[in-house]
A and B are shown apart, each in its own frame.
Chain A
Amino acid sequence: AQTVTQSQPEMSVQEAETVTLSCTYDTSESDYYLFWYKQPPSRQMILVIRQEAYKQQNATENRFSVNFQKAAKSFSLKISDSQLGDAAMYFCAYRDPRGGSEKLVFGKGTKLTVNP
């Protein structure tokens, strides 16, 4: 079974600085999708960024970018110019599209604190 590991239960960053959240996963598949979701205290799950495994180029969305290392099965999220509104739980998620399954497997999450 696929597993997703986030080894950092908590992280903190100073406002305007850069922080990297780690995620590793285990799979024997070659084609899959990876996601980072953000969950602020309001508990709404918000998509931050998405990466298709067949794409070698790392995904980028404004201040958010990923470092996707397929061979190492690593998918880290970099947040640049951190803002107070970035404070939230961040979940890494994996999806294996085999057989039409759209199941997301989530890591345990990293709580990010942004200090003013």
Chain B
Amino acid sequence: SAVISQKPSRDICQRGTSLTIQCQVDSQVTMMFWYRQQPGQSLTLIATANQGSEATYESGFVIDKFPISRPNLTFSTLTVSNMSPEDSSIYLCSVIRGRIADTQYFGPGTRLTVL
């Protein structure tokens, strides 16, 4: 497995503002992902964070709303832009550490509440 940390662990934000969530892994990983878990719901993949290039977004998610960076093999950020109450969710990063067919391990999540 991998030791994954996320900052902040939770935040309460005002409508119209932006929040950047950080994901840090204790060692180099092959792939990094960002998921959203809306209240009482399952997880939905937002995007794959690609090191040194633009993230690959899933249908329904766009870069202007969820810009992602991955400057190296152990760190990624997700920004939730121009927030509305509908963005209130848990945001989780996950990683694949070794070969591509390996298991995804998840960070502890960031609980975001938008007022």
Contact = CB atoms under 8 A, between A and B. Distances in A.
Interface stretch (B62-70, B73-81, B104-112): B104-112
Given A43-B111, A45-B92, A104 B45 contact: yes
B42 A91 contact: yes
**How big is the B interface, by class?**
20 to 34
A104 B48 contact: no
Interface residues of A, number: 20
Given A45-B92, A102-B33, A103-B58, A91 B43 contact: yes
Interface stretch (A20-28, A77-85, A105-113): A105-113
A52 to B, nearest CB: 8
A68 B100 CA distance: 23
Contacts of B101: 33, 97
Contacts of A97: 100-101
A103 B58 CA distance: 9
B106 A109 contact: no
B25 interface: no
A35 B103 contact: yes
B13 interface: no
Contacts of B42: 91, 106-109
Contacts of A91: 42-43
A43 B31 contact: no
A103 B100 contact: no
Contacts of A109: 42
B53 interface: no
Interface of B: 1, 31, 33, 41-45, 48, 58, 90, 92, 94, 96, 100-101, 103-109, 111
22 contacts: A33-B101, A43-B108, A44-B108, A45-B92, A45-B106, A45-B109, A47-B103, A47-B105, A91-B42, A97-B100, A97-B101, A100-B100, A102-B31, A102-B33, A102-B104, A103-B45, A103-B48, A103-B58, A104-B43, A104-B104, A106-B44, A108-B41
